[in-house]
Chains A and B, each alone.
Chain A
Amino acid sequence: MSQYSRILVLLGALSMSLLFFFPMWKIYLQAPQYPEGLEMHIWVNKIAGNTEFTLQNFNILNHYIGMKPIEASSFKELEIMPIVVYVLMVFGLLAALFRNKYLVAGWLGLLAIAGTAGLVDFYLWLVDFGTNLDPNAPIKIPGMTYIPPLIGPRQLLNFHALSLPAMGSLGLAIPMILAGFAVYIEFFSGKKLNLNPSSTARRFSFGIGLGFLFGLISLTGCSPEPQPIAYGQVGCEHCKMTISDPRYGAEIVTKTGKAFFFDSIECMADYLQQQEGMQEKVAMLLVTDFNQPETLLPAEQSLYLQSEKLPSPMGMFLTAVATPEVARDFQQTYEGRLLNWSEVLQAVKSHEKQF
């Protein structure tokens, strides 16, 4: 077995540890009286939510329709699955250690079986919870079942449910893909590769592998992308006021693709400096171009005017513009002073207003 296949298998086996760091699946629920939303997180070894009390609140709501309480203790799987994952990890590592292509093929087979079994089991539980309802439930709607979607959206009474695989599922997807490549290399084009290690075919297949990986990552929605600010609907992460002025909104996108919205430059700057560990998580800092409402600019490359004549939403009189030319024009019209991003951070920190 080639060195390359060995590395693929090794990486695949190690990537399975993602299952212990991230939930595999997330079910998002939204209803009018839950503006903040409820999230149920399914892990390989536990069932949790976006807050420590989500599960309790899920169960309180569900008891009205007679659904059984969802409790970790009722799932044998949560004890079995971690063991299965460990065994598969060790299996993969052994396959890499012994450089045995048959072991790799076997490993791929086992991964596929485990993944399929997991999905089927998950679906059966959803059906069980959604249909096996207490006949004495207070709310009974003839013919209604409450099976949450396995994947995708579904309306369940007043709740809009959305079910999606989460980061943890990569802990199964990545090893399967990498093992698939290794098997392909070893069994179908492996000889050529062994004979000629610098061949383009090898690079080509490796490249495809990586491309696949990144494609998968962006599919599960964790690549950092700017997101439009829903003016009038979403609240400022820092001051909690609804973001309404489309000339002043700001946004932080984290490395995992999560977006935080702010009603003003000063709120974002203050938040960034107050939240511990936030600065390390940032992928993008965005501010709105005053001249082009709802258009986002990178915060570090924009210029800022602090002028008494241009009050901003949270009282620091900060306005963002795209180019130095526009900035100078603005300064002529509105007076005040021009700042760059690091000066803005400093001014917000010391609450400094100079015009």
Chain B
Amino acid sequence: MKAIQSLKQHAPKAALLMAMAAVPFMQSCNPGDANTAQASLMNSDAASKVYVEPGKHDELYAFLSGGYNGQVSVYGVPSGRLLKIIPVFTQHAENGYGYSEESKAMLNTSFGNVPWDDLHHPKLSRTDGMTDGRWLFVNANNTPRVARIDLKTFETAEIIEIPNSAGNHCSPYPTNNNEYVVAGTRFSVPINEDGSPNEASLEEYQEKFRASISFIKVDKETGDMNLDFQIMMPGFDYDIANGGKGPSGDWIFFTTYNTERAGTMKEIGASQYDKDFLAAVNWKLAEKYVKEGKAKEMPAHYYHNKLDKSSHIAKSEIKKTVRFLDPAECPGMIYLIPVPKSPHGVDVDPTGEYMVVSGKLAAVIPVHSFSKMQKAIENKDFDGDIKGIPVLKYESVLAAEVQEPGLGPLHTEFDGKGNAYSSMFVSSEITKWSLKDFTVKDRIPVYYSVGHLVIPGGDTKEPYGKYLIAMNKITKDRYLPTGPELAHSAQLIDISGEKMKLLLDFPTVAEPHYAQVIPAEKVAPNSVKFYKLEDNTHPHATKKEAEARVEKKGNVVHVYQTAIRSHMTPDNIEGINVGDTVYFHVTNLEQDWDVPHGFAIMGATNAELLIMPGATQTLKWVPTRPGIFPMYCTDFCSALHQEMQGYVRVSPKGVNTPVKFWTGKQKPAL
């Protein structure tokens, strides 16, 4: 009770401070401070700590989500060098992802082909609570989906749509051995168990709107995902989750907001109660209930898209049912723990004992204790229930409150040496505090308004420590100006000593919401250099130049084309008419590292192809006017790359030009 009172006392103070912090000129009000920060940086050996000699490799891979670009960007740490962009939920004209015939299906959903999404949270696959460098799971926030990226190829291998969900923000959080990857809905929506459309009056929020948490099973060997079951939850908004570790390994914790269940003007409506909840879900028990047959099946309609490894073709499967658990029928599976209102992140410390809840409107950071939670459950220390889910008492679970951490705490990560680091959005700083006495040890300003932060392995049972990356939401004057739209900025901070040290600013792609960082040695040795041509099972692959050909049936034309330094075969094609549907199936015959070939043709209304050695990719082209159309290789493959070009002749509709094709010398028509 005391804690609640102190919270009530602090709340107005916090609000006032936040209003002050929101004054945009706060930074320039205090030029003295900023200058000292810069000066101290100059004296340190920051430069040598982030300098990676030319030709030398970085110590770590960082996978930063791209937010509204629907991609993942891969950086080297500590240099901050951008290594790759992996397209996931968004078409990527640069390499044909989402445009080529092979990859189109990857973006199929029950809403149709969705070419964009908002990618928020990357999470690496785990073995025994540690990152294992095999896969990266990411979520689509807008059209609910979870994707798996294969870290052997750095390609999106699989995307699964999540039914009964709206705004898949609370996603994707793996358990310690990827037994499940969980996904909670940010928006509650009406869910009808007979599968009828989820339309209802918006005024019926309280009665009809519900939430779901999805449990995706991950195959231990292949990584293949499968939606195993869902739990139907009260109609709150589910924000962030994280799995327990060690003693709490069977549990997953979800932050919720809008427990008021307001349907409109949530800015105010969802901020009425003093407390929202942390939902603690025992996934092991849920799995057991499902095995016992407690899950009910309901009709559903969702897509599951998988990339075939040997043909490089994505295929969609439409799923028709989903099973779900009702918490009221599953005792012991879920408990609600009060937390200061509108929390954001929940992070579990490496020992699995503490659940740190960062309430962006709270003046303190509450730390809940797993052992106290278990005791409270044992003693039935409940404060009533919500829809059959017991609510635990705040004080019976609370371990401590971190006092004066800063303003607007969002997320926390750990260094494995007994310290926690929390991002402070409003006061633009990182606060380091101790898990031993829950007091603040150090703070460092960041530029500006940090959202997520990441420590390599900082969400696993044994953090790598050493570095922290702050992902900042506001950039302003940190780089040369580039008009109204600026790159977001990340900052690398050295956390190896007692005091945090700022090492480096680096611009990021779109808006990172979270990141994962992993030692390079767990990923680099497995990186695929090229695909073996003999393993290519693409039905339209052309494995030898001698097999290159053009086949026309009616107005559908298949061009079986090969690319090898420095020519394509065939490079002269005739017999195509306006309005024909032409498929260029281009096989890259190279069998060496880093020799991709590109393919582009004038007037194509989609994109280009970028074909890796040994792979086949297909571009669809419907010529709209007669003429001669050049095509060429777009990737500078060799000294005679510029000569790697050819022509397609397009005749008017109805004109019977015989199909002919050749490279070098003319071949007879088929």
Write the residues of chain A forming the contact surface with B, with a CB cutoff of 8 angstroms: 52-53, 56-57, 60, 64, 138-139, 232, 235, 238-242, 244, 267, 270, 314-315, 351
Contacts and interface: CB of A to CB of B under 8 A. Distances in A.
Given A52-B591, A242-B56, 13 more contacts: A53-B591, A56-B592, A57-B591, A60-B565, A60-B590, A138-B566, A238-B525, A239-B525, A242-B55, A242-B57, A267-B521, A270-B521, A314-B519
Given A57-B591, A139-B639, A241 B56 contact: yes
Nearest to B639: A64
B526 to A, nearest CB: 11
Contacts of A139: 639
A239 B464 contact: no
B57 A241 contact: yes
Nearest to B592: A57
B21 interface: no
Interface string B520-536: 11001100000000000
Given A57-B592, A239-B521, A232 B57 contact: no
Given A57-B591, A60-B565, A138-B640, A241 B520 contact: yes
- The B contact surface, by secondary structure, is loop
Nearest to B496: A311
Nearest to A266: B521
Given A57-B592, A60-B565, A241-B59, A232 B53 contact: yes
A57 B638 CA distance: 13
Contacts of A239: 57, 520-521, 524-525
Nearest to A313: B59
Nearest to B593: A36
Interface string B247-286: 0000000000000000000000000000000000000000
Contacts of B640: 64, 138
21 contacts: A53-B592, A56-B592, A57-B591, A64-B566, A64-B640, A138-B566, A138-B639, A139-B639, A232-B53, A238-B521, A239-B57, A239-B525, A240-B520, A240-B521, A241-B56, A241-B520, A242-B55, A242-B57, A267-B521, A270-B521, A314-B521
A235 B521 CA distance: 13
- The A contact surface, by secondary structure, is loop
B607 interface: no
B564 interface: yes
Contacts of A53: 591-592
Given A60-B564, A315-B519, A240 B524 contact: yes
A318 to B, nearest CB: 15
Contacts of A238: 521, 525
Contacts of B566: 64, 138
Nearest to A52: B591
A351 B53 CA distance: 28
A150 to B, nearest CB: 27
Nearest to B590: A60
Contacts of A60: 564-565, 590, 592
Interface in B554-574: 564-566
A138 B564 CA distance: 15
Interface string B25-60: 000000000000000000000000000010111110
A240 B524 CA distance: 7
A56 B591 contact: yes
Interface string B581-601: 000000000111000000000
Contacts of B519: 314-315
Nearest to A139: B639
Contacts of A240: 57, 520-521, 524-525
